[in-house]
Amino acid sequence: MSAEPSPTIHVPVLTTEVINALCIAPQGTYVDGTIGGGGHAELICRQLNGDGLLIGLDHDHLALARCESRLNGKPVMLAHSNFCELPELLQQIEVGPVNGILLDLGLSSDQLEDVDRGFSFNSTGPLDLRFDTDFGEPAWRLIQRLRPEHLADIIYEFGEERLSRRIARKLCERSKRDPLKSAAEIASIICSCYPHSNQKRIHPATRTFQALRIAVNEELKSLEIALRRLPDLLVPGGTLAIISFHSLEDRRVKHAFREDQRLAVVTKRPIVANAEEVESNPRSRSAKLRVAQRI
């Protein structure tokens, strides 16, 4: 029997802004498509009465296990699923159009602290980076399998990393001599590609790790599918709220909201964290919330 997961350490971002955006009806049905540590979900549940329902999705088994404990007794239904598969899930559980959908596309602090999955640059565990470890291949295996030019394309496209070719070449060369697995070791090789005099605001491995994570989880593909499918799941006037943490996601959300004839854009510009929140939760600095309503 597996041990119960440790309590979440994740602090949700833009909580007041999210709750205000969703305009929660106590008897309504809402979806948290990336339930994570359950922070946003718990706040939504507080607004619901006995007739209301929150459907919480995640493709991380540990996240769902934490939420099962945290949200016990609340009007919530949890499901192991990707948010782009929400139409099939709603049909399966016989739930009609919903009042609101929230997607928080960020990486959770719980995942960053999981040494067995390699999300942290200092992790001595293997560079896995998968949200659902039952599917796909870990990032360290991706590095071993790909040719340098293909790996460089991934790092450049999904990480917008200007040193992508140098990084890919070094990773592939080293992997041929001695297969790489450790997240810390891979991060160290990436750091060696940067001049020592280059004082970066972010860790040198940030963009490469982001690119590898997006690749192994097919994150942008899932988002693009969801942006096409989710508006049809909302009642008229229902809300679609999406928090993104990097430009690749935010651009897709912005353009989809503007071009979708089913949606009316609520946020002409993205909502960002105020100075007080950024000081207490630095992770919120890069969060951008965009909101649209079903016409």
- Give me the pLDDT at residue 6, please: 72
What is the model's pLDDT at position 77?
Answer: 98
Residue owning tokens 């940067």: 194
Regarding whether 140 and 95 lie in a shared domain, the answer is no
**Cα dihedral angle (87, 243, 132, 3), rounded to 10 degrees?**
-110
- For residue 149, what are the CA distances in angstroms to 152, 154, 167? 5, 9, 10
Claim to verify: residue 131 and residue 104 sit in the same structural domain = no
Q: What is the pLDDT of residue 284?
A: 94
Predicted confidence (pLDDT) per residue in 193-240, tens digit: 998 645 457 899 999 999 999 999 999 999 999 999 999 999 999 999
**Span 172-201, pLDDT tens digits:** 999 888 888 899 999 999 999 998 645 457
Q: Which portions of the chain are predicted below pLDDT 50?
A: 1-2, 197, 199
Q: Does residue 41 sit in the same domain as residue 71?
A: yes
Specify whether 214 is located in the same domain as 232.
Answer: no
Structurally, how many domains does the chain consist of? 2
What's the confidence (pLDDT) of residue 200?
59
Please tell me whether the overall predicted TM-score, pTM, comes out greater than 0.85 for this model.
yes
Whether 125 and 33 map to the same domain: the answer is no
280, burial (CB in 10 Å: exposed 0-12, middle 13-18, buried 19+)? exposed
Answer whether residue 201 is part of any domain: yes
Last residue of a domain, one of 192, 218, 244: 218
List all residues 6 or more positions away from 2 whose beta carbon is below 8 Å from its beta carbon. none
Within 13 Å and on the Cβ side, how many CA atoms surround 165? 1
Is residue 9 in some structural domain? no
CATH number at 239 reads 3.40.50.150
* Residue 207 covered by a domain: yes
Same domain, 20 and 77: yes
* 287 and 226 assigned to the same domain: yes
Residues 214 and 225 in one domain: no
* Residue 184, domain CATH: 1.10.150.170
Query: Of the candidates 218, 247, 272, which is a domain's last residue?
Result: 218
Structural domain span for residue 61: 15-110+220-294
Assigned domain for 5 exists: no
Which of 239, 291, 249 minimizes the C-alpha distance to 270?
291
Q: Is residue 6 part of a domain?
A: no
In a domain, residue 261? The reply is yes
Chain centroid to Cα 58, Å, comes to 10
> Is residue 214 domain-shared with residue 247, that is, in the same domain?
no
Q: What is the pLDDT of residue 1?
A: 38
Tokens representing 271 are: 């909502």
Whether residues 251 and 261 share a domain: the answer is yes
Which residue among 186, 218, 250 closes a domain?
218
